[in-house]
Amino acid sequence: MTFFFDALTVLLSIVVIFLILMHSGKDAGLSGAFGVGTGQGSLGGGSLVERNLNRWTVGVTIAWAISCTLLVTSPW
């Protein structure tokens, strides 16, 4: 069971890092390369994409925190 939480935590960590890098910052960050914050491209308007990116980031981060908590407090 510990292996499952180890693998899940590593996977969620990688996803959280990727999602954070996708956010546009002062310099448009990595998300500018994919057209996320520009309002152009195949993803449509920038505001909707940014809002969904925020939701995904918060959701995956909460799942990561729960996974870390279960990994630390597990009696196995």
61 contacts 16 by C-beta, under 8 angstroms: yes
Would you write out the chain's pLDDT as a tens digit for each of its 76 residues?
789 889 999 999 999 999 999 987 655 555 555 555 555 555 445 678 888 999 999 999 999 999 999 989 877 7
SS3 string of 17-35?
HHHHHHCCCCCCCHHHHHC
Number of C-alpha atoms within 13 angstroms, CB side, residue 71?
16
Distance CA 1, CA 76 (A): 7
